[in-house]
Structures are given as C-alpha cells and as structure tokens.
Structure 1
C-alpha cells in the first residue's frame, strides 16, 4: 500500500459545503478530491436522508462531472465499482463510529481509517479488474477478498 496523508477538515461547514456543492454542482473541479468524495458521501448518508444513495449517487456524480467539464466514459469520470466500494466502506466505518461526534471529526477519523485510504479497494480487487472498463461501467464483485 502507498503512503497516504489525507487532507483533514477543521469544521462541519466544510463538509456540508462539499455535500451540498456536489448536489448543486457548484463546487470547482479542483475541490472534488478523494477527501471530498468521502466527506460528501458521509454527509449525504448522515444528513440527507431524503436521498437514496444506492439509487442516486451514480447520477449525482455523473452530473457533477459534466458540470465541471468532465467526461463520463470508459476511461475517465464516473467509476461504478470504485464508487460502490467506497460507499460500502463509508457505511462499514459508520456502523462502528460514534455518529454523535461533530461531522468533521467523524470524517477525519474515516479518512485516517483503512476505509478512507485511496487504495482501500485494492485490498479486495486486483488492479487489472478494478481499472477495467467493465468495473468502470458496472459494479463487479471483488476478485481477491470479500469486502468487510
């Protein structure tokens, strides 16, 4: 695994801004980092119960990508298996976390946990499968280990 030093958050408002900015497509492209992905997902899971993420997250991310000039194709943009893997990882983290903590502290704990690492899906997927066109288009099951 590679060395990983995430950018941590100092206030709940930062997390809320990312979550609502994703929904409204108002974030600048450069703000959509790995940390922002996980922060926004955590925010949406905990604070936006009106959104059914399993059904809506793919279109939310695709719409955002297009809004900042990105492309959702077989080689860039939205990636179904990575999105589903991290959504699962955030849920696993939240099952064990004290969700009464301030949101930014919770997200920071997630980011320094195994589930918050950029390479977390590679514990379960070979690089070849994870970065395949099939895995980008559809959710594919892991080929190395069961996600837990």
Structure 2
C-alpha cells in the first residue's frame, strides 16, 4: 500500500500550477506529484481530456526541466494511460458526497490504489517497460484493466 504524507490544498496548487507552468522543480515531480496532478485533471475535465492533457504536458514538462523523452527514458505513454485510467476509476467511485478535492486526493494517496506497482497487476515487466509501451499505448498482457482487481 502507498504511504504518502498528507497534502494540503496549497501543496496541491503548488504541484499542479508548477507542472502546468513547466516551473515545478524536477525533484518535486515525484510519483505522488504525478498522481495528484493526474487526479486534478480527471476531476476537472474528465477522462478523455485529462488523458490528452497529460499526454501533451508531461513530455513538454520533462524537456523544460532539462530532461529528454527517448526510447528508454522520459515520457512513458502506457504508464500515463494506465494511471489516468486508474485515477478516473477512483474518482468515479469515491468523489460523491460533497467531499473536498483535498480530502479525496489524500484518501487516494493513502490507499492501495496509489501503489506504484499497480500496473504490474495487468502488465508483465517486459511488456510495460518495452520501447513500444513507452512510445505508444500497449494493451495489458496479463489481464484486462479492471479496477476491482487492484
């Protein structure tokens, strides 16, 4: 299970605005920051637009911070698709009841759903970390994506 610290709305705003402005220090672009930013997108604009935005912004953000997007490093399309899918599925199930985004986000970050190894429930390491999966979406090779399997 993931074990991230509690984040405040101010910290969420810092991560999201820094990511969008391409000014977030690369040291702050952690797995937790990816998840927060992805959930913020899903909550605000829905799955399809969130996926398009994350696909467009992550590579540009990487390059703005001095990183490169190559066949073996930087932006990874299948991992991005996986996480936006999972965040959307979580949002659909747990965002009702008038809870704040901060509360939903923190509940997610403390849940099993935030575990960085979740993609390996559906993908073999060989497939997930292949050049093809990095450069474009690759379908799971262990089992189809199913939120109830996490």
What TM-score comes out, normalization by structure 1 length? 0.89
- The structure carrying a bigger helix percent of its residues is 2
Does residue 79 of structure 1 match 2:76?
yes
Cα distance change of structure 1 residues 10 and 54 upon mapping to structure 2, 3 Å threshold: closer
Cα distance in 2 between the residues matched to 1:104 and 1:146:
30
Deviations 1:58-84 (A, max 9, x none): 120001000111110011100000000
For these two proteins, the number of residue pairs brought into alignment is: 144
Instruction: Tell me which residue corresponds to 2:4.
Output: 7
TM-score by length of 2: 0.88
Query: Is the contact made by 1:65 and 1:78 (CA closer than 8 Å) also made in structure 2?
Result: yes
Is 1:18 equivalent to 2:12 in the alignment?
A: no
Does residue 88 of structure 2 align to residue 91 of structure 1?
yes
Counterpart Cα distance in 1 of 2:16 and 2:73: 22
Cα distance in 2 between the residues matched to 1:101 and 1:13: 17
User: 2:113 corresponds to which residue?
Assistant: 115
Q: 2:54 maps to which residue?
A: 57
- Unaligned runs of 5+ residues in structure 1 are none
Runs of 5+ consecutive residues of structure 2 not aligned to the other structure: none
Task: Provide the aligned C-alpha RMSD in A.
Answer: 1.7
Contact 2:4/2:110 (8 A) holds in 1: no
